[in-house]
Amino acid sequence: MTTAKMALPKGDYYVVVTEQHSSFPTNGCEYAIKADYTVDSHWETESNNDNRVPTVIKVNEQYKGVHTVYEDQDWYKFTTTKDGKFSVTLSIDDATNVDAIGWGWNLAIYDSEFNEIKRYSSIDRATTTVELPFAKGTYYLKVEMQSTSFPCLDCVYGIKVNYKTPARWESEYNDENKYAEVINVNEVWNGSTYHTEDTDWYKVKTTKAGYFQVEFTVPFEVDSEKISWGWDVTIYDKNFNEIKEMSGVKSKVRTIILPYGKDTFYIKIEPQHSSFAPLDCDYSFQVINKAASNYESENNDIKKKADTLTLGKTYNGVTNHSEDEDWYKFKVAKNGAVKLELKKHSSASADDISWGWSYVIYDKNNNEVAEVSNIKSKGATTINLKKGTYYVQVETQHSSFAPTECRYTISTKFTQAPSATKITSIKSKAKKVTLKWKKSANATGYYVYRCESKNGEYKKIATVKGAKKTNYTDKKSLKKGKKYYYKIVAYKTVAKVTANANAGNIKFVKVK
């Protein structure tokens, strides 16, 4: 008979041979005994049945162990020197009788504080755990029999820690925002949900002023049935205010464009439901950051954080949530006309727009200048403004019917007002009034206004097109002997935007 192999440290040992039963003695029987000893640094070293005296092993090297008594536990300790991924393979030695394995072994993996990371039960064949993405450090393994009633006594097993350092993998524990994994924009990062309540936090700094999006992907080799209810992906600003959430993600998805400036953001990835978690499923994601000078920059939800609009340019905005407000400001250097147009982006469907947007223009003293409401496709207004700074407030028409996650464009056109003109001659003859005025610089035409009293309400009676024509004869419903007051307003039109000059002098005449 040959005993099972035992792994022992160097030292003195004793072998005691006794009769099995005194009633059945072995008187006069000789026996031979021999202790075979082989030096092997890749065996467990008893007594390693306590986490205080584990067998120290190296990663990526094969070791062997055996349970020689029912209560035997084998503890192992290994250290990783870099952040990476490891799995553990428990195999059956070639010399082991598979019929003697019984219910097999249990394998548990612990961190340096002996918090259980992962557990596998009833291992009766070669098994490799999932890959666990953990930070560099010290870890422990415990191997024990699943059942003393169905033991794997004297069965030699193999154990190996498979360790690698792939780029751009999360490193546990990143389950709180203060331990967030620091990642870079425009790089694909990977993670894994290794238990039902595993939460992975990431921290990223955008390097380009413009916008970013988060794209989440499930690798094709992941079993779709294991994904179950999938993941929740939530984006926060540096103060942990929620920006966006994607819920129940099971396949490739990308957030809307998030127009934020260069700043720090956090991403939290967790199971949609702990009872239906994508256990042991890998995922990939990246933060796509692109430079753009024609986007709003959140948080521009109050007047003092208004984004600057350059006249003549088009900008993009996004309604992130139902009560999202976007503030803008623009400066008018000289008196003129501004056309402001808000238009739905081609990426937004009519159904998603719902009740659409509205916008209000204010002067620097918060006086309302203009308002346009119920914009579902486009809405524009043209107003003559004096030199100064103006503000635009864009908001949803109704928070319950908001164009959430819909993009829009906002554009401005400006035409500088021409110089004011002056009436130089006014004459009446045969129920007609002939007016002449001074040519205005840069004007493309003139409006003629008339009133029956100097301070009354003047009505436009004619439009004189062309900069060179500076006279007009009024024949409209004039009454003999009655006084009529006139004024001329020069205008300039560029790209269908018309700016009016200040009204010139007022002249009157009695109709003959």
The span from the CA of 343 to the CA of 409, in Å, is: 5
Percent of residues, the chain, with pLDDT higher than 70: 99
Residue 1 has pLDDT above 70, yes or no: no
Residue 484 has pLDDT above 70, yes or no: yes
Using CB atoms within 10 Å of the CB of residue 320, give its burial: 0 to 12 exposed, 13 to 18 middle, 19+ buried: buried
| pLDDT 10s digits, 144-190 | 999 999 999 999 999 999 999 999 999 999 999 999 999 999 999 99
Residue 230 has pLDDT above 90, yes or no: yes
- Identify whether the C-beta of residue 271 lies closer than 8 Å to the C-beta of residue 193: yes
Q: What 3-state class would DSSP assign to 237?
A: strand
What is the rounded average pLDDT of the residues 351-356? 94
Would 177-291 and 423-510 be classified into the same CATH topology?
Answer: no
Find residue 291's DSSP bridge partners: 210
- The secondary structure of residue 275, as a DSSP letter, is G
To which CATH superfamily is domain 423-510 assigned?
Immunoglobulins (2.60.40.10)
| pLDDT 10s digits, 16-72 | 888 888 788 877 788 888 888 888 889 998 889 999 999 999 999 999 999 988 989
| pLDDT 10s digits, 107-152 | 999 999 999 999 999 999 999 999 999 999 999 999 999 999 999 9
Q: How confident is the model at residue 94 (pLDDT cuts 50, 70, 90)?
A: confident
| pLDDT 10s digits, 488-499 | 999 999 999 999
| pLDDT 10s digits, 204-224 | 999 999 999 999 999 999 999
Provide CATH code, domain 1-166: 2.60.120.380
Q: Show me where the domains of the chain are located.
A: 1-166, 177-291, 303-416, 423-510
- The pLDDT mean for the chain works out to 94
Gap between the terminal Cα atoms of the chain = 144
Residue 256: partners with Cβ closer than 8 Å, 6 or more residues away: 213, 244, 318, 320, 405, 407
User: Order of strands across the sheet with 423-428?
Assistant: 423-428, 433-437, 471-474
CATH number for the 177-291 domain, one of 3.40.50.300, 2.60.120.380, 3.40.50.150, 1.10.150.20?
2.60.120.380
Architecture of domain 303-416: Sandwich (2.60)
CA contacts within 13 A on the Cβ side of 435? 32
Q: What is the pLDDT of residue 334?
A: 96
The span from the CA of 235 to the CA of 228, in Å, is: 22
Cα 139–Cα 173–Cα 112 angle in degrees, nearest 5: 25
Residue 262 has pLDDT above 80, yes or no: yes
